[in-house]
Amino acid sequence: MRVTVLGAGYMGSAMAKVAAQRGHAVTLWGTWLDNALLDVVLEGKPHPRLGLALTDLRLCRAEELPEALCNAELVIHAVSSEGAVAVMTRAAPYLPDVPVLSVTKGFLANADGQMDRIDRVIPEVLGRAVRFVHAAGPAKAVEIARGVLTLMVFAGADAIACRDALAGGNLRVAVTDDIAGAEIASALKNAYATGLGLWDGLGHVSGAHNARAACFAQSIHEMCQLACAGGGRAETIYGAAGVGDLHVTAAAGRNRAFGERVGKGKPARDVAAEMLASGELTEGYAAIATAWRFAREHHVDRLPLLEVLHQVVWEDVAASEALARLDLL
């Protein structure tokens, strides 16, 4: 099978490596922001972020998008949510009618200016159907690339075809028709993982494990409310797409680290700017804002933890002050 991966960052490169291991002919296309990454890989050196060599792949730069998509039988969309519209708009004239497996997580603004799922916004922007399948679940890119046991959940009409193309070895894939629940879970988990990181900052001296665990349970409760309001099912949140992904994101990674630094008393905007300057994308910063908008637009009012997160990250309320008055469940 001919597989084209859009986006040469962490996840795109990891999924390209998986596809190559499954025996497919893989093209890895980098956006205009990925040139430095591709330069290193083209020199035969390990990928700067994954720390692994990318062999048996065809590499394409931004201007080679038509060639990258030519005759593709499966497209893996691994561009950040912020770049999804720009990339897919450029890709539209060359995009074949094949499944598009999206590992991108987040909400986008639809034509009415409201927060919506990526699988709904992109077809609206392009003015054509796109066969989106969303890839959810606890799947850190570096571990996928290194062959660590990983369970992903593919959601959508073409989920089985995508599973059959990519599952194998240490990558296990479950399928569901609940693309709404899976995509909303993915959009929310970075926001709530940031919140759990706040406790790591507040309790860095003597610990705050009880509080962190309580807020993990609260996070799942609120994610269920939001997923159901958006047309998803609670069972999806209670599985790998929700509980599993929140667990791994809150255990390690940039969003947890972002929350920890804010919990120690530094303004969120300053932490986000510092992390961006050092090449660390902090999805949780924007995810809290978009999740709050999604909640308001869907009239979900009883979300005490998300409300506190929004106060701390976007309204400059001290984390210790906001979390002290948190009303759980």
Q: For position 36, which CATH number holds?
A: 3.40.50.720
- Same-domain status, 48 and 156: yes
- Between CA 275 and CA 257 the distance in angstroms is 10
187: left (phi over 0), alpha (psi -120 to 50) or beta: alpha
**Separation CA 163–CA 142 (nearest Å):** 20
pLDDT of 115 higher than 90:
yes
Q: Which of 129, 146, 177 finishes a domain? A: 177
pLDDT tier, 84 (very low <50, low <70, confident <90, very high otherwise)? very high
Q: Are 193 and 256 in contact (CB under 8 A)?
A: yes
Q: Which helix (H) or strand (E) holds 314?
A: helix 304-314
**H or E segment at 77?**
strand 74-77
Return the pLDDT at 205.
57
- Whether residue 89 sits in one domain with residue 185: no
Give the pair of three-digit tokens for residue 270. 């300053």
In a domain, 64, yes or no: yes
**Residue 51, pLDDT score:** 86
Question: For position 268, what pLDDT does the model report?
Answer: 93
* Two structure tokens written together for 89: 């708009």
Q: Give the pLDDT of residue 279.
A: 72
- pLDDT grade, residue 254 (50/70/90)? confident
Q: Are residues 20 and 154 in the same domain?
A: yes
d(CA 86, CA 72): 20
DSSP sequence for 95-154: --SSEEEE---SEEE-TTS-EEEHHHHHHHHHTS--EEEEEESS--HHHHHHT--EEEEE
The tens digit of pLDDT for each residue in 140-197 reads 999 999 999 999 999 999 999 999 999 999 999 999 999 999 999 999 999 999 999 9
Statement to judge: residues 207 and 318 lie in one domain: yes
Q: Is 266 a catalytic residue?
A: no
State which of 177, 193, 215 marks the end of a domain: 177
Distance CA 72, CA 166 (A): 15
Residue 108 and residue 29 share a domain: yes
Do 219 and 142 lie in one domain? The reply is: no
- The mean pLDDT value of the chain amounts to 94
Q: What is the largest CA-CA distance in the chain?
A: 57
CATH code for the domain of 278: 1.10.1040.10
274 and 156 assigned to the same domain: no
| Token digits of residue 108 | 């986008």
Indicate the pTM of the whole model: 0.94
pLDDT, one tens digit per residue, over 271-280 is 999 988 887 7
**Whether 169 and 244 share a structural domain:** no
Same domain flag for 133 and 147 = yes
Do 103 and 55 belong to one domain? yes
192 and 294 both lie in a single domain? yes
Q: Which of 121, 152, 177 is the last residue of a domain?
A: 177
Q: Are residues 214 and 153 in the same domain?
A: no
Q: What is the mean pLDDT of residues 1-17?
A: 95
The confidence score (pLDDT) of residue 151 equals 98
Quick check: 125 pLDDT over 70? yes
pLDDT over 70 percentage in the chain: 99
What's the rounded Cα separation, in Å, for the pair 237 and 122?
Answer: 24
Mean pLDDT of 11-22: 95
Q: Tell me which of 51-55, 78-82, 160-164 is least confident.
A: 51-55
The catalytic position among 45, 189, 264, 266 is 189
Place of tokens 């969120």: 268
- Number of separate domains in the chain: 2
Residue 329 falls within a domain, yes or no? no
Structural domain including 164 reads 2-177
